[in-house]
A and B are shown apart, each in its own frame.
Chain A
Amino acid sequence: MSTLTPEQWRTLTPYLNQALDMAETERAGWLSSLRAQDPDLAAHLESLLAEHSHLAQEGFLDTGPTPLDDDPGLAGQVIGPYTLLSPIGQGGMGTVWLAERTDGRFERRVAVKFLNIALVGRGGGDRFKREGSILGRLAHPHIAELLDAGVSESGSPYLVLEYVDGDHIDHYCDERKLDVEARIRLFLNVAAAVAHAHANLIVHRDLKPSNVLVSKDGEVKLLDFGIAKLLEGEGQDGSATALTVQAGRAMTPEYAAPEQVSGGMVTTSTDVYSLGVLLYVLLTGQHPAGKGNHSPAELVKAIVDTEARRLSDMVTAGGGDLETVTINADRRTTTPDKLRRLLRGDLDTIVAKALKKDPLERYSSVTALADDLARYLNHEPIRARPDTFAYRAAKFVRRNRTAVVLATLAVIGTAAGIVDALVQARTARVQRDFAYRQLQNSEAVNDLNSFLLSDAAPSGKPFTVNELLERARQIVEAQHGNDASRVQLLISIGEQYNTQDEDAKSRPILEEAYRVSRGLTDRSARAQASCALGHAISLADDPKRAESLIEEGLRELPGEPQYAFDRVSCLLHGSAVARNTGDVKQGIARVQEAQRALRQAPFNPEMRKLRVFMDLAEAYREAADLPQAIAAFEQASVQLSALGRDNTETAGTLFNNWALALLQMGRPLEAERLLRRAIEVSRADLSEQGVSPMLLNNYASALDDLARFDEAAGYAERAYARAQKAGDEVVINQSLLLRSRIYRDQHDVPRAEAALDEVEPRLRKALPPGHYAFAAVIADRAMLELERGKTAQALRLVNQAIDDLQATIKAGKAGVNVLPLYYQRRGLIELRAGRPDAAAADVAKALDLFQAKTSPGVFSYRTGRAYLLLARILKAQGKEQESRTAARTAAEHLQSSAGPDHPDTHSARELAGLDLPLR
């Protein structure tokens, strides 16, 4: 083994950093691709990494040298009536010693806790004794008794506490494999102790497993009660009547309530929150902030900002890796699935109420929390209500604002067949922003977060993400250095603003990043700044400048692997710019190039692959290239599974959008399955609470294609009712259009017409004149006339619909996708009117257009239906042989896309002479 020269060290450092950030499994592949390029470097790294895992295993330098102490310690020393025996713990507050009574009057052993004098402050001794006597009265079977408090001769304040020989509550439960019910019963003891203290006007403020011990015989003892109070600053009046106090003491962040982190008022509600976290951990084995190492900054952000995931979501594969969830379930003597079912519903609701960010929304007292748990154990209905639908819907919309809008319009597109271009551009952005958020592994953003919090936290005020960003901007502004890291920081802030939909704020910051970067030679920083800015301004007024910024950024980057990620990111920005400015081809070309660049990268992180696939799928969908879009969605979903994110909101959105592309392509069977999964992911319990009406409506649309009309009507009606309650105009309109179509399929003409009458004025209010949706309403009315047998009326209307739509397309607006559908309708009307030749011409047009949109070899419901109509027309023309051939083709398409039991499949088979007539 040789020592490293400084040059070698400097060369290896960036690679070493990369490698250390990777999972062990990822490293092998990365190393082997590196080996192909630079065998020496790879060999060097490999030996360093081997050394690293060896050192990590052996714990090299993990234990620091013995601090400045002397071995004999305090053992044997006499403190008041107690003799110290041996140290039993050390913490931030000081040292804890096991001791026994010197006078031998009792056998009792006690714990003596010496407090770090720095925490008490000068003159604290007297107050300490006084408070100690007050706390001494806090007698409860589940609270470790405070026996005495005082100040030793050498000036150290100390507490004498009942000695509890026990284990932390979480270890205790795990070790004995207690089931959910036993855990709740144990927890109720803790709650009783906390409630008793609250009744005595004392707030604990530091509830966590290490403060809750369980003795061998199962007795719960709460420790450290009121110590927080003892440590109150001198300015605080010592009287015990002050129930609410300003936070100010360092607490354990993992169990801290939002108001403790942001410096709000600490009340009994604070303990309710910490108890909620404790219960969450006991029931799931996981912390509400999720798995993994959280930096203090991330943790604080999670406490203040992020709604905890439902209990029941944390215990199956979606909540962590398979091994973890299996172990956690085993520790509760059950399986992950059973545990999920057990936690679902009431327990989800109870814990969620304890963990509300706003103290006023939590249980009003610990007793109320305990009551509900007792009700649960007795199988009585609990008092807490799950979040109302409106509340959840509002949150869903806030989270996925643009995605929802897009998806809803896209469904009008399926009902009517068209997708709106502008909305799609916005969606692509949402998808991309999603990817950015997922990609927050980036240093700059992490550093930004801790940077923000180190400045924001001490200010002692609650804050929002936007305030944090504003603060960060000011701090960065005030910094004098104009280096690459400042540029990175500005870009991070700018993009964070973008994620928050604050374009007005994002733009000047990115302009600043760009300006600063011009004075630098660092190619990454220059390229990143110019591409990020280009992207940000592409939706605004200056598409030319946006494009030239992207080109400028791409020119900065040489083809070497070290710039691969910069290229990927610049190309994705560039793709978005191209799509935002209407150049869909360039949009696709750039994502494809990003894909190639990613392959050249020295390693290939999964999150980046996911991001590229999602961008690619959206780009294809915008270009109306459905087969390619679907392939990309498929790859994105494989990636998502690989990352264990199958049950996240992201997965729900992906399934939904993917299903829409499938529906447009005429694959309702697959779409139905995906939408069902999307609903499964977002549903709160066995009810449909929490499923967005948009998703319900999409599902109804798939069911309608599958000829499951009654179910489809049910879903569409529920979507409508819910959308009305939530005041969601877009979904209301979309569900009305769909309902009309379903009722028509059920041959209920009056209801179908009523739905159209209801939606028409609404559309006039919501959409600009010339929108394809108006043509859709007319085409639907044509079909109703046909149902009534009024073919002349029907023909007049469908001709009008086609004329209107062609004008819309000519004006450069969206609508081209539904055109074949209208030709097909006209063909049907012509056939009924007894003009099979005209009908044949229309269906031929429709088929041409449909087939241009689907790749050869893909069976489509739309193509199948067109062939079925063609078969009927040919039969009417007396061309029996041709009719049978067309019907066979129709049967093939329909069987694969809509299933063998679909009525259209039966009709086609019958016409082809493959089946006997059904009736």
Chain B
Amino acid sequence: MEHTISGLIGAAERGDRAATEELFETLYRELHRLAKRELLRQGGSASVSATTLLHEAYLAMSSRGDPSFPDQAHFMGYAARVMRRLIIDHARERQARKRGGLFEITSLDGQDAPANSVDHRELTEISQALDELESVEPSLAELVDLKFFCGLSFGEIASLRVVSERTVQRNWERARIYLHRKLRADLAV
């Protein structure tokens, strides 16, 4: 098996499950490593944006001189999915630390979490809904990874995919409807 990223992406695209998993693990390790390095460099605790990590990961990997390295859009699609898991893991870890392990105490005034921020359980649910969306319309799922989990703007995604920003926005709106339906339906069960 070819262990370069481009080789793995190629194999994953041909439907090789083992390669898909290895690709996932490799990217996860790489992004995790970059995140740690970045946190260290910024004095241990500044925030690191997912966008920066993705771009850096791409630059790092493409500079390793693999001749048939896939284009950025391709890479970002895979990496964004991995980033999703990294973020969920991170949120889970942070929450566990904050709540003192298994004891989850939610404060009454709700001030310990900014409004609109999403806790790791919700993230996990979104992630599951996304997996389902992926089977129906993969490009929508990828879009949510890039936008929601990695924080890319509509403009960035548009130029990555070579479509108009309006198209990206419309697809985003559709994806949101789909996910919301799915989440509501799951809650109703």
Contact = CB atoms under 8 A, between A and B. Distances in A.
Interface stretch (B3-11, B17-25, B103-111, B151-159): B151-159
B46 A3 contact: no
Contacts of A454: 159, 162
Given A20-B170, A51-B181, A450-B163, A156 B43 contact: yes
B64 interface: no
A841 interface: no
B56 interface: yes
A812 interface: no
B58 to A, nearest CB: 12
A51 B176 CA distance: 10
Interface of A: 1-4, 6, 9-10, 13, 16-17, 20-21, 48, 51-52, 55-56, 59-70, 72-74, 77, 90, 95, 114, 116-118, 152-156, 293-297, 443, 446-447, 449-451, 454
Contact of B167 (A60, A74, A447): A447
A294 B173 CA distance: 18
Interface of B: 35, 39-50, 52-53, 55-56, 86-88, 90-91, 94, 114, 116-118, 123, 126, 135-137, 144, 147-151, 155, 158-159, 162-167, 169-170, 173-174, 176-182, 184-185, 188
A652 to B, nearest CB: 29
12 contacts: A3-B181, A51-B180, A55-B180, A61-B144, A69-B45, A74-B42, A95-B46, A156-B43, A296-B159, A446-B166, A449-B164, A450-B162
Nearest to B179: A61
Contacts of A116: 52
Contacts of B116: 59, 62-63
A70 B45 CA distance: 6
A68 B47 contact: yes
Contacts of B179: 61
A156 to B, nearest CB: 6
B46 A21 contact: no
Nearest to A296: B155
Interface of B is mostly: helix
A450 B166 CA distance: 11
B43 A66 contact: no
Contacts of B151: 64, 67
B147 to A, nearest CB: 8
B45 A3 contact: no
B181 A447 contact: no
Contacts of A52: 173, 176-177
Contacts, number: 158
A651 B34 CA distance: 57
Nearest to A59: B116
Nearest to B136: A6
B52 A446 contact: no
B42 A114 contact: yes
In the A-B complex, the 3 residue pairs with the smallest Cβ-Cβ separation, listed nearest first, are A69-B47, A295-B165, A446-B164
B185 A65 contact: no
A909 B162 CA distance: 71
A11 to B, nearest CB: 12
A188 B114 CA distance: 41
Given A73-B45, A296-B165, 15 more contacts: A1-B184, A2-B185, A10-B136, A16-B177, A55-B177, A56-B173, A60-B176, A63-B117, A65-B148, A68-B48, A68-B87, A74-B43, A449-B164, A451-B162, A454-B162
A317 B72 CA distance: 44
A68 B164 contact: no
B33 to A, nearest CB: 12
Nearest to B59: A118
A4 B41 contact: no
B46 to A, nearest CB: 6
A295 B155 contact: yes
A65 B49 contact: no
Contacts of A17: 170, 174
Given A4-B178, A116-B52, A156-B41, A293 B47 contact: no
Contact of B45 (A62, A74, A114, A447): A74
Contacts of B56: 118
Contacts of A60: 176, 180
Nearest to A70: B45
B25 to A, nearest CB: 19
A9 B135 CA distance: 12
Interface centre among A3, A95, A454 (most CB of B within 10 A): A3
Contact of A65 (B42, B53, B117, B169): B117
A916 B24 CA distance: 100
A64 B45 contact: no
Interface centre among B46, B88, B123 (most CB of A within 10 A): B46
Given A52-B177, A95-B47, A450 B117 contact: no
Contacts of A3: 181-182, 185
Interface centre among B135, B144, B155, B169 (most CB of A within 10 A): B155
Contacts of A77: 43
Nearest to A4: B181
A1 B87 contact: no
A294 B45 CA distance: 36
A296 B155 CA distance: 7
Contacts of B86: 68
Contact of A70 (B94, B137, B155, B163): B94
B108 to A, nearest CB: 19
Contacts of B188: 1
Contacts of B177: 16, 48, 51-52, 55
B165 A450 contact: yes
A1 B177 CA distance: 12
Nearest to B87: A65
Contacts of A62: 116
Given A20-B173, A447-B163, A67 B47 contact: yes
A154 B43 CA distance: 5
Contacts of B149: 64-65
B164 A13 contact: no
A153 to B, nearest CB: 8
A156 B48 CA distance: 13
Interface centre among A63, A65, A295, A449 (most CB of B within 10 A): A65
A623 to B, nearest CB: 39
A191 B24 CA distance: 53
B137 A9 contact: yes
B126 to A, nearest CB: 8
A604 to B, nearest CB: 20
Nearest to B171: A17
B167 to A, nearest CB: 7
Nearest to B114: A66
Contact of A450 (B39, B55, B158): B158
Contacts of A73: 45-47
Given A60-B180, A156-B42, A69 B174 contact: no
Contacts of B147: 64
Nearest to B174: A16
A5 to B, nearest CB: 9
A114 B45 CA distance: 13
Interface centre among B42, B45, B176 (most CB of A within 10 A): B42
A20 B48 contact: no
B165 A20 contact: no
Contact of B181 (A1, A69, A118): A1
A63 B118 CA distance: 9
Contacts of B88: 65
A655 B172 CA distance: 42
A296 B117 contact: no
Nearest to B31: A68
A443 B168 CA distance: 11
Nearest to B119: A65
